[in-house]
Amino acid sequence: MTTYRQPGTVVTDHRFPVPLDHARPDGEQIEVYAREIAASGLSATERERLPWLVYLEGGPGFGARRFIGRQAWLDRALREFRVLLLDQRGTGRSTPANRQTLPARGDAAAQADHLTHFRADSIVKDCELIRRRLTGGAPWTVLGQSFGGFCAVHYLSTAPEGLERVLITGGLPSLHATADEVYTAAYPRARRKNEAHFARYPDDAEHVRTIAAHLLEHETALPGGGLLTAESFQSLGILLGSGDGTHQLHHLLEGAFVRAPGGPVLADAFLEQVQAHLSYAGHPLYAVLHEAIYAQGKGPTAWAAERIRADFPEFDAAAALAAGRPVLLTGETIHPWHFTADPALRPLRETAELLARRDDWTPLYDPARLAVNEVPVAAAVYHDDMYVDTAHSLETARAIRGLRTWVTDEFEHDGVRAGGPRVLDRLLALSRDEL
C-alpha cells in the first residue's frame, strides 16, 4: 500500500487479487485497484474507526472518478466515512481489458467468453471479497452512481448481509425489461432532450443540420484516426443527459466550421473536441458490454439500440435533411458502426458481435429477495433522466421493500457530481428516516 496526501485528504492505494471467475476461486487471479480516502487531521487510530463507504462508478467500463481533495460529494462523505473509490474490474488501474490486452486471451470467441466475467455479478463478488479483507466482516455503505446503482441492486439481490445501507443516484434499473424495452423507452427521451436543447439554443438546429449534411457528403477523419460520420456525430447527443451538457454542446457546435480557400471545412479544433467526446480509448468496456448490462436471460441483445432505432425514423439524418426537419442527436446507445469508426474498438468488432449474439446471460436481480429487503435504501431518481428511464426506476423502487426515493428535476443524470454535497446529504438523511 502507498499512502500520500492531497488537499484535505489522506489517500491510500490498495490492490486486491480476485478470481477472474468466482466460480473457480483457485483459478486465474486478476487485480482490482481501489483508492481509500479519509479526511486529513485525524490520527491513524481515528481513521481506522471510521465506517466504510464504497463508491461504484457509472458505466460500465469507467474507473472511479479521480478527485483532487474534497470535491463534489466526497466532502460530505468524509465527514463520517472512509471512502473506497473502486476501479471496477477491467477499468482504471485494475487489470485492464481492452484492444491491447484482450488478444492474449485468444480469438474473438475466447475474448467474448472472458468478458462475460465483467458484469455486475462479478463486480459485486469482488466487492464482497474486498469488504471482508478491509472491514473484518462488518457491513459497509454502498454509493452507486448510474451503472453503479445497477450493481448496488444486484448487491441487494445476492449479498445483502454485506450492506449497512445503499445509496443510489440515477441508477435504479428495471428488474425485468429487456434491452429492446430499455431502448424503446430511451429514444423518446432523447427526442425530448433535443427539443429542449433547440428551444434553448434555436440556432443550433441549423448548426446540426449543416454539420450532418457536410458529413453525409464528405468522408471526415478525426485526428486520432477515427471516422466522423453523420451517425457518429449524432451520438454527441449523449451530452444532453448531463447538467451542463446542453451548454457544452452549444459551445462545441458554434465553432464547427472555418473558411478555407476551397470553402467551409470542419475546424481542427472542433474535430479535436469531438474526438475527446466520442473516443472509447479510455473506456472500451462501455461499448463492448453496454447492452449486456440489460441482458436478463431472455435471449441475445442482438444490437438492440440499432434495431430499435429503425422504429424512430426521426433519428435518420438523411431523411430529416431531405424533409427539412431538425436532425436529432442520439443518446446513450451503442451501434455496430462504433466498432468500425473508433480505432480503439475496431479490433474488438468480432468480439462485440459474439457478445451481442450470446443468449445464455444469467438474470441479475432477484425480485423475491428484494421484496423482503431489510437494508436501508435511498435513491435519487431524476425526472426524465436521459440515461435511465424514470418509469422503470420508480417501478423498481416500489419492488424493493423499504426503499425511499427522492424524485427531482433539479439535476440531470450527473446530479451526485454536479450537486456538491446536497445529493449525498439528502440520501443519507432519507436512509436514516431523518426526512
Q: Pick the catalytic residue: 146, 174, 235, 279?
A: 146
Cell matching residue 378: 435511498
Report the distance separating Cα 150 and Cα 132, nearest Å. 22
Alpha helices (H) along 80-119: 108-115
Q: What is the DSSP string of 346-367?
A: GGGHHHHHHHHH---PPP---H
Helix (H) or strand (E) holding 86: strand 82-86
Question: Is 335 labeled as catalytic in the residue annotation?
Answer: no
Which member of 26, 43, 360, 409 is catalytic?
360
Catalytic residue among 114, 214, 392, 413: 413
Reference 206, options 250, 268, 164; nearest CA is 250
323 burial class (0-12, 13-18, 19+ CB within 10 angstroms)?
Answer: exposed
Burial pattern 279-293, b for ≥16 Cβ within 10 A else e, equals bbeebbbbbbbbbbb
Within a 10 A sphere around the Cβ of 261, how many other Cβ atoms? 5
Clarify whether 413 is annotated catalytic.
yes
Tell me the C-alpha distance between 207 and 255, whole Å.
10
Alpha carbon distance 373, 377 (integer Å): 9
Is 425 annotated in the active site? no
Q: What positions carry a catalytic annotation?
A: 146, 360, 413
